[in-house]
Structure 1
Amino acid sequence: MQKNALAANAAPNMPAPTAAAGGIQRTVYSVLGAISFSHLLNDMIQSLVLAIYPMLKANFSLSFAQVGLITLTYQITASLLQPLVGIYTDKRPQPYSLPVGMGFTLSGLLLMSVAPSFGVLLVAAALVGCGSSVFHPESSRVARMASGGRYGLAQSLFQVGGNAGTSLGPLLAALVIIPHGQRSIAWFSVAALVAIVVLAQVGRWYNRHPATKKKARVRAGHPSLSRQRVALAIGVLVLLVFSKYFYLASINSYFTFYLIDKFHLSVQAAQIHLFVFLASVAAGTIVGGPIGDRVGRKYVIWVSILGVAPFTLLLPYANLFWTSVLTVLIGLVLASAFSAILVYAQELIPGNVGMVAGLFFGFAFGLGGIGAAVLGKLADVTSIDYVYKVCSFLPLIGILTVLLPDVEQKRQARAA
């Protein structure tokens, strides 16, 4: 009793991870809130980089292809390392890796604020990518550990923090960085320091969790499906993530340029529109997980990916008013997919939470980087308007959802 009391007092804001009656753990909302808040700060910093592209393009006389290369450097760094981090931590949990990863992000942010050349910008982007490669697999694991079995809800709460942070980046860039210049990027190091403090507390809770004291059995695939069926399902999920994040790359990296070119908006006005889109993504994220827990994740994937196609197909032909409306609808519908895809994949390959999270977060970042580079080159050769006409067809890939097995029905049948 004395030992338990001391453990509970070690981190007063985060209750010790104890099992409830019947061996069922409760949902630890304080931990989910802390990891979601840290995700907000982490992704806010990342989106600042994307939001200041017009300023960097002007300051360093960059082409669209070079702008895409900055995104590629950051996101490829994150995508290549994330699955490796996940595989390693599945076998050897690292509770205090979260604040260490945020330290890389802090370093990249400070370096970017004083970068004298394009090459140094790329190094700074790579450091931010390294921070993300550690943060996302481990924080996704923490969300699942704190879920109390409500995996979709936990992933949605975790994701909504990231999407909210992503939406804040352009707004803060418009209000702070654009008026005050490149060196004002360093002011946001305070956010990284706050995240390090919060993540240190999360690490203490994680370190006391029973999952860190024993090695879970790692299975190769879902017990009711053949390896070939699991591999096919993972392949379909990868293509769905491709359609989602390649399209998002067109918005995140080039939407401000599109609005400036087509509607002659100022940089700040265009960034406000980007903020509205990203805010709608944050709002839509919270819906997918709980609905997936209740009605099934496959249905959420259907609606989220394929259901957004009519809006993306209309976007290149809309005026400014309808562009604003359509981008909000696109953000709301498309946002719900990732939480459902991630939890669905973790159920396909049980016992590999970190590896699956690292694979899909990493793949999402990698596709965003490749998409930014490819679309930047396409924009240089053709036009920004043509880029959005090409990307409008990507959500039609959602028809492949028909190939996914009904994993949740199989699990319910076994339980009965």
Structure 2
Amino acid sequence: MKSIDTVTANKTTYSILFIISFGHLINDMLQAVVPAVYPVIKDAYGLTFTQVGLITLTYQMTASILQPFVGYYTDKKPMPFSLIIGMTSTLAGLVAVSFASSFYQILAAVSLIGIGSSIFHPESSRVAHLAGGGSKGLAQSIFQVGGNAGSAIGPLLAALIVAPRGQHYIIWFALFALIGMFALSFIAKWYRNHIDERLARGAKSAGEVKSPLPSSRIVWAMVVLLILIFSKYFYMACMTSYYTFYLIDKFHVTVAQSQIYLFAFLASVAAGTIIGGPVGDRIGRKQVIWLSILGAAPFTLLLPHASLGLTVVLSILIGLIISSAFSAILVYATELVPGKVGLIAGLFFGLAFGMGGLGSAVLGKLADSTSLEYVFNVCAFLPLIGIMTILLPSTKKS
């Protein structure tokens, strides 16, 4: 079957980019509801930090393990309406979480949310790639900022809807899933028509597209990129899963206040994401990766020693800087391995979720045996791994 990824027009289809970004917003907002209500669930069921970490691990691992396989399959056989199927799985998971009455039922419910994410991300990333035309970095940033905005809005809505009323009110988020399914139906139709048009014009097969570098250097570059993803998302796991607990424990803020501070951090992540892609289009992907990961280190090292006000400011700066890397990393990887957008997106989104889940579980166990302040001190050193960017080879666009 001929690939639809390898021949893309220079024209950027902004309407499709904004709709798929909105779909990404809905998807990631619904996923963000789960960690946002951890304080409610932890108190209701008397969970330890280790169990909280296991909840994150479960839904992140179901998302991460399946994504590369979904991407690999859809590179060969695109499935436009799979986006709606993924949102349906997320919808089912949300309903199940709202009525769960035990730790194990919560694990089963969040696994459905993870499966929905694993189906959504590879195909939606391909849609952004196709709609981006000649501005791949910008397209990925628009797509990514939707997800990051959703991750920021999720905790805020959870603070307003769930925190004061209880777990069962999670079911109201099912309405957003239905809205997302409606929006994605337009994307699915455009995507299906786009496939037909590309095949009618006789696009090159993926096998005819050659990478700019020898295979040994590509493998090495991918290893370095995956290590960089590890450093970024292990630190992000620390912030998204335990930042609220850290603020409550160290500064004695309320649950609602901690959610607002988490929203400020996640909003800065969304802002940083929209900056990273177009800047990478202009100055090169490697330069953005350098500045994004290693550039966050001074602020992460200072954060555990700061007052409440400075902690909030530093968290915003960290989110703004560290979030600009992902779009650059993803586009850089697709330039190394042309014609495999689904596989690359599945691999990197999957690893991001996997590192988030693994990080949450490991850091939860560490927090139980030491303290949250100790966890934040240890994680502060993770962005220093960004020095490995020096090992990345150059492409004509990097």
Asked whether the two chains share a fold, i.e. TM above 0.5, the reply is: yes
* Secondary structure in structure 2 of the residue aligned to 1:306: helix
TM-score w.r.t. structure 1 length?
0.91
Q: Shift of the alpha carbon at 1:221?
A: 8.8
Report the equivalent of 1:259: 247
Residue 291, structure 1, aligned to residue 279, structure 2: yes
Query: Does residue 173 in structure 1 map to residue 176 in structure 2?
Result: no
How far apart, CA to CA, are the structure 1 residues paired with 2:183 and 2:375? 40
1:110 aligns with 2:98: no
Q: Look up the match of 2:352.
A: 364
Q: Is the 8 A contact 1:222 1:347 kept in 2?
A: no
Is the 1:93–1:212 contact (alpha carbons within 8 Å) kept by the matching residues of 2?
A: no
Residues 211 and 305 of structure 1: CA distance in aligned 2, closer, same or farther (over 3 Å): farther
Q: Aligned equivalents of 1:280 and 1:57: distance in 2?
A: 27
Mark the runs of 5 or more structure 1 residues left unpaired by the alignment.
1-16, 18-22, 411-416
User: Hey, what does 1:385 align to over in structure 2?
Assistant: 373
* Letter matched to residue 293 of structure 2: I
Aligned mates of 2:209, 2:318 — CA distance in 1: 33
What value does the CA root-mean-square deviation take over the aligned residues? 1.7
Aligned match of 2:310: 322
**How has the CA–CA distance of structure 1 residues 299 and 315 changed in structure 2, closer, same or farther, with 3 Å as cutoff?**
same
1:309 corresponds to which of 291, 294, 297: 297
Q: Given that residues 156 and 259 in structure 2 are in contact (C-alpha distance below 8 angstroms), is that contact kept between their aligned partners in structure 1?
A: yes
Partner of 1:14: none
Which AA in structure 1 matches 2:249?
A: D
Distance in structure 1 (CA, Å) of the matches to 2:271 and 2:351: 23
Question: CA contact under 8 A between 1:219 and 1:350: conserved in structure 2?
Answer: no
1:248 aligns with 2:236: yes
Provide the rounded CA distance (Å) in 1 between the counterparts of 2:256 and 2:208.
Answer: 50
CA deviation digits over 1:87-141, x for unaligned, max 9?
Answer: 0000001011001110000000000000011111001110000000011000000
CA distance in 2, matches of 1:400, 1:243: 11
Q: Which amino acid aligns with 1:110?
A: V
Q: CA deviation at 1:330?
A: 0.1
Displacement of 1:219 in angstroms is 4.6
| In structure 1, distance between residues paired with 2:206 and 2:199 | 14
Post-superposition offset of 1:224 = 3.1
Aligned length: 390
DSSP-derived class of the 1:307 partner: helix
Residue by residue over 1:226-262, the C-alpha shift from the partner in whole angstroms, topping out at 9 and shown as x without a partner, is 1110000000000000000000000000000000000
Alpha-carbon distance in structure 1 between the residues aligned to 2:203 and 2:180: 28
Task: Extract unaligned runs of 5+ from structure 2.
Answer: none
> For residues 351 and 47 of structure 2, what CA distance do their matches in structure 1 show?
27
Is 2:317 aligned against 1:332? no
Whole-Å Cα distance in 1 between the matches of residues 383 and 171 of structure 2?
37
Corresponding residue of 1:182: 167
Give me the whole-angstrom Cα distance separating, in 2, the residues matched to 1:215 and 1:128: 35
SS in 2 for 1:330: helix
The structure 2 residue matched to 1:121, chosen from 98, 106, 111, is 106
CA contact (8 A) 1:219 1:349 kept: no
Provide the identity percentage.
60
The residue number in structure 1 matching 2:188 is: 203
Partner of 1:20: none
Q: Secondary structure of the equivalent of 2:206?
A: coil
1:8-65 CA distances to partner (integer Å, 9 max, x unpaired)? Answer: xxxxxxxxx9xxxxx9441111100100001111111111101000000011110000
Note the C-alpha offset of 1:215.
7.2
Structure of larger gyration radius:
1
Matched-pair contact (CA < 8 Å) for 1:222–1:230: no
Which one-letter code corresponds to 1:70 in the other structure? I
Tell me how far 1:211 sits from its aligned partner.
4.0
Tell me if structure 2 keeps the 8 A contact 1:221–1:348: no
Q: 2:11 is matched with which residue: 26, 51, 54? A: 26
Does structure 2 conserve the Cα–Cα contact (< 8 Å) formed by 1:245 and 1:364?
A: yes
SS state at 1:180 partner:
coil
Change in 2 beyond 3 A, CA 1:57/1:162: same
One-letter amino acid of the structure 1 residue matched with residue 361 of structure 2? A
Aligned partner of 2:136: which letter? Y
